[in-house]
Amino acid sequence: MTADTLERLTEAVKAGRAGAKGPARAALQELWTEVGAAGDPLHRASIAHYLADLQESVADELMWDQRALAAVADLGDERAHAFLPSLHLNLADAHRRLGERAPAEQHLAEAASLAGTLSGDEYGALIRTGIDNVGKLLAVGSTAPL
């Protein structure tokens, strides 16, 4: 990632986490446009991954999660492994909240199988806990947010 892109991405993510979702979403959408469909897959995956979290609707969140997954597929190296469990978890949860059980189950199974590649650190624990939580909600047919 270029220093400018990384800095702008980091600032937008911080703004979104601080509650400024609209400005953060606008900043990331601007970055997405600048990077373009043929831009660096790591840039596209990162931007789309964070944009998904800032959407007002689950359908829009799902669209950005799908874009992030498509960009990761273009990475074709070990950088993809860090993204995949989280992306499949996010896709499973979005499909679950939309009441789309089959794709939710498919992405949850993929997330669970890939979670074994994660380390035992805080991030790995976060993803594993998310997989458990989404699985429990899916099992009872819940479409409620986590």
Count the alpha carbons within 13 Å of 104 in the hemisphere toward its beta carbon: 20
| Euclidean distance between CA atoms 87 and 110, whole angstroms | 10
Domain boundaries, the chain: 1-76, 77-146
Question: Could you read off the pLDDT of 106-146 as tens digits, one per residue?
Answer: 999 999 999 988 989 999 999 999 999 999 999 999 999 98
Taking a C-beta distance cutoff of 8 angstroms, is the pair 3, 11 a contact?
no
pLDDT of residue 1 exceeding 80, the answer is no
Question: Could you read off the pLDDT of 66-83 as tens digits, one per residue?
Answer: 999 999 988 876 777 778
Question: How much is the pTM?
Answer: 0.92
- pLDDT above 90 covers what percent of the chain? 79
Q: Give one DSSP letter per residue of 4-61, joined into a string.
A: HHHHHHHHHHHHHHTT-HHHHHHHHHHHHHHH-TTS-HHHHHHHHHHHHTT-SSHHHH
Nearest Cα neighbor of 80 from 108, 113, 103, 46 is 46
pLDDT of residue 62 exceeding 90, the answer is yes
| Euclidean distance between CA atoms 112 and 97, whole angstroms | 18
